[in-house]
Amino acid sequence: MTDGGVAIGDHVRPTEAGRDSHVPAGVYRVVGTDGDAVTLLLVGDAAGRRVHTGEVVTVALESLAAFEPAENPDASRSFATRILSQLAGLRWSLRLLWRSIRSRPIPGTTAITLLLVGAFGEAILPVSETVLTGLFLLGTLLLTYLGRMGPA
């Protein structure tokens, strides 16, 4: 990139001349910029296929001349592939949440009970809609907290 002008969200790849640098071949998304450097996240392999490595590199702004614009690896995925990927992510999230609840049965059961009572309690409990909404939100927050903590 001869002008060095990149913005967050742009995709770049090292050119043939830039392959001898410390940056491995692949497609990178610009995730940060400052006056002297650009932070890049590896999002595609050398063939442009999507990867999830979490590898982050920082490149000096003057070294950006060894990079060229690249296509977003997500743009080439079909709609069905993107939906299946989202469903797989949801499945893993639910699986981790279930493991977290199983490892902490009392808070997990409490969270699920609060959520269910808040959602379906109007026929059972003589309380206002505000109380039921509060119970639902409290159960949701507790489940979220348990999910973020991960399994014990």
- Gap between the Cα atoms of 144 and 92, Å rounded: 15
Distances (CA, A) of 141 to 2, 80, 104, 109: 49, 32, 15, 13
Count the residues in the chain. Answer: 152
* Statement to judge: residues 52 and 100 lie in one domain: no
The model carries a pTM of 0.51
Query: Is residue 54 included in any domain, yes or no?
Result: yes
- Gap between the Cα atoms of 30 and 9, Å rounded: 5
What pLDDT, on the 0 to 100 scale, is given for residue 4? 54
97 is in which domain, residue-wise? 79-149
* Statement to judge: residues 93 and 130 lie in one domain: yes
* Statement to judge: residues 94 and 51 lie in one domain: no
What pLDDT, on the 0 to 100 scale, is given for residue 76? 65
Domain boundary among 25, 47, 69: 69
The DSSP element (H or E) to which 86 belongs, if any, is helix 79-103
* Token couple for 12: 């770049």
What pLDDT, on the 0 to 100 scale, is given for residue 17? 57
Mean pLDDT per segment of 10 residues, for the chain of length 152 residues?
A: 72 74 86 89 87 88 87 78 83 86 92 94 91 95 86 70
What pLDDT, on the 0 to 100 scale, is given for residue 117? 94
